[in-house]
Amino acid sequence: MADTAALLLKPGKERSLQRRHPWVYAGAVASVAGTPGNGELVAIRGSDRRFLAWAAYSPQSLIRARCWSYAEAERVDGAWLAARVRAAVARRAQLQETGDALRLVFGEADGLPGLVADRYGDTLVLQIHSAGIELHRELLIDALCAASGCATVFERSDAALREREGLPDSGGLLRGDKPAAAVPIREHGVHYLVDIRRGHKTGFYLDQRDSRQRLALAVRDFVRRHGRGPRVLNCFCYTGGFSLAAAQAGAQAVLSVDTSADALALGQRNAALNGLDPAQLQWRCADVFEELRALREGAAQFDFIVLDPPKFATNQHQIERAARAYKDINLSALRLLAPGGRLLSFSCSGAIEVDLFQKIVAGAVIDAGIDCHLLARLGAGADHPVLVTHPEGEYLKGLMLERI
Ligand code: SAH
């Protein structure tokens, strides 16, 4: 493929690719040989013209190319892309046992940068965020349907991310019949309804599956040890992911807080779907920062508290402000934690690394004047694999603390 278009890198800019980081930034490119179109295959060559990788060209993006492969002998064509999809689905075969909602493709980690494919029962929900994936979208959708057995495909791409790639806004039904307003799924024995058309991201926070299960196991253990169900506070509850996991595991009372009335309404429907006693679950439409203070004034205490806020830092410049916000909610939550109680505290800000997050939470523990053990580090499940050479993929981090 000597006549394939190529991006020539500036001297010294080869290193990141040699370390198998899959992005080529615009600033690293010295020149473009040929006239590749949006998303088309290009060879990436070092300043000495040596082959480094095959990549998809994104002429309008700051990330100018995303790598498909580092092997010159590989033929990156339709069959190759379809094989990547099959490999991604096969990688998760065992996880199907935990339920019928799963991330089947997670971008870079599955060698398909810019593609997310989430399965909710028989429905696939896609996000297409790179020019390379866009160019091959039909072929990739065919491969996804064939590998997963799903017939309905819905797109929920983020318009802002597509715009950065020079791609027009796109979304809605791609294949099959219009999906129900709320698609039923099952996760570790809990039933949930997912609003794939209007819900957050692709409709559900699949990345918290393992941690919801962790909470359920800890709640069961609490019941065994204390002979009563724990009191649970779920902050930033969305549609009640953690709330239902806790309630079904035997929590005595679960208070769920979120500012989204729609999410809370779906949370209530989810509770009914699982046949839970409505008196067991309380749903409160409120700002968590304020609600935590109000609860303290009322001298409330909880045996389990979950803090799963939205992304407070979207880039490096927001780290300081975000750190203050994380500290604030963690301190307020720790003040409500009963002795022996547990806090599950998360950050999905990629810009905040796990060490910093742990320092922030430790600062809150000190200010709360209590002592805590770090019982476990938490994160996304195995359907969100992380390439060791692409740490950006590991955005979700969590800590499980126990008040001594
Ligand atoms: N833990 C959830 C996902 C949480 S996503 C799950 O397992 O499904 C973050 C949630 O925080 C969103 O539902 C959003 O509506 C809510 N939110 C954002 N800012 C908030 C605030 N200040 N107070 C309360 N909720 C907030």
Cα of 300 from ligand 1 centre, angstroms = 21
For 96, 114, 199, 274, the CA distances from 187, given in Å and listed in that order, are: 10, 26, 18, 12
Nearest CA to ligand 1 atom 11: 236
The two beta strands, 23-25 and 63-69, are antiparallel
The atom number, within ligand 1, closest to the CA of 208 reads 7
Residues with CB under 6 A from ligand 1: 205, 208, 236-239, 241-242, 257-260, 263, 287-289, 308-310
Cα of 332 from ligand 1 centre, angstroms = 17
Q: What is the largest CA-CA distance in the chain?
A: 73
Nearest-angstrom CA–CA distance, 202 and 154: 9
Partners of 257 in the beta sheet?
Answer: 235, 284
Nearest CA to ligand 1 atom 23: 287
Contacts of 207 (CB under 8 A, 6+ apart): 103, 348, 380, 381, 384, 396
Cα of 112 from ligand 1 centre, angstroms = 29
Query: Residue 192's closest CA among 152, 254, 244, 256?
Result: 244
Structure token digits, residue 195: 């609003």
User: Which phi and psi (to 5°) does residue 25 adopt?
Assistant: -80, 150
What is the pTM assigned to this prediction?
0.96
Count of helix runs (H) and strand runs (E) in the chain = 11, 20
Nearest-angstrom CA–CA distance, 216 and 46: 51
Q: Residue 104: enclosing H or E segment and its boundaries?
A: strand 101-106
The atom number, within ligand 1, closest to the CA of 346 reads 1
Q: Each residue's pLDDT tens digit in the chain (404 positions)?
A: 557 899 999 999 999 999 999 999 999 999 999 999 999 999 999 999 999 999 999 999 999 999 999 999 999 999 999 999 999 999 999 998 899 999 999 999 999 999 999 999 999 999 999 999 999 999 999 999 999 999 999 999 999 999 999 999 999 999 999 999 999 999 999 999 999 999 999 999 999 999 999 999 999 999 999 999 999 999 999 999 999 999 999 999 999 999 999 999 999 999 999 999 999 999 999 999 999 999 999 999 999 999 999 999 999 999 999 999 999 999 999 999 999 999 999 999 999 999 999 999 999 999 999 999 999 999 999 999 999 999 889 999 999 999 99
Cα of 374 from ligand 1 centre, angstroms = 24
Nearest-angstrom CA–CA distance, 4 and 337: 61
By annotation, the residues acting in catalysis are 348
Q: Which amino acid is at 31?
A: S
Our CA angle for 116, 118, 121, nearest 5°, is: 165
Contact between 216 and 229 (Cβ < 8 Å): no
Partners of 56 in the beta sheet?
Answer: 41, 66
